[in-house]
Structure 1
C-alpha cells in the first residue's frame, strides 16, 4: 500500500472516530502528523530559583503559584445578594444552555458530565433548574460549585518554570 493510500485510510478512520472514539482519533492524528507528546521533566523551580524534585514540594509550589495567580482580596466575594425581585430561571433556559455545552470535557469535583445531565433528560434538567433557582433565591453557592481543578500544561517540553505553562481550568 502506498503512503498516500495509507494516509487516506487513516483519514477515513479519523472521521469515523471523531464522535465515538476521540482518544483514538487523536492518537491517529499524531501518528499521521508525526507529532509526539512530551512528558514533563518531573521538576520545577522554587520561587528562589532552586530546582524542586520532591513530589510533595512540587505540589506545594503549584498551590502557591495558583493562589498568587488568582489572589482575591475582595471581602465577602462568596456571598451573592438574594433575588427578591427577579423572575425564576426557566427550565427551557437551562435546557438551551446545556445543549450549547461542549461534549467530551472533563468533569469537575462532582463527576457530573454534560452527557450525564442530557441522558437524564427532563428529570436532570429539572434538578439542575431547581438547584440554580435555589442558588439564585438564597444567594448561597454550594462549596462544590466554587472549587476548580487546575492542570498545568507545559508550553514547551521540559519547562521547569511555572510561569511558562498554561493553566487549563475544569
Structure 2
C-alpha cells in the first residue's frame, strides 16, 4: 500500500486548480508509479495554466529603440510556459511632438496586439492580455512616421500572470 494522499472528489468546472493540487497530483503519481507504468507523460513537465494577472514572472527594464518607418522588432522574450498572460510595456517618443511613434505586441513575429501611438516624450504604460504556449516569442515591434528624427523607445517589458512561480 502506498502513501496515497486523499483529494477532493466533488470538483466542479468553477473550482480553481491550485499549486497545492498540482503538488498533490505529482506526489501521488510518483508514489504510485509502479501501478501506472503506462503513464504517457512526465509529471515533471505538467503544463500549469494561469490567467493574466499582476504577478510578474519576467521584466526587461532596458531601453530599446526602433529605427524604421515600418514595424521592426525592438524587444523580445521567449516564454517557457503556456498560459494566458498580461504583457505590459512602457513606450515614448523621446523628442516629443516631432513625429508620431507606434508600438504593437507580436507573438512569433505575427501581430497580436493593438496598435499604440504617441507623440509624448513621457513614457506611457500599455497592457494587453494574450495567450501563449511554451517556446513562444513575445515581441514589441515599433515604427515612426518620421523615423530619422524620432525613434520610438520601449522599456520595462513585463510578463504577468495570476499566480506565483510558473513551472513547465
Pairwise TM-score range, normalised by the shorter structure: under 0.3
TM-score normalised by the chain length of structure 1: 0.24
Richer in helix (by share): 1
Richer in strand (by share): 2
TM-score normalised by the chain length of structure 2: 0.24
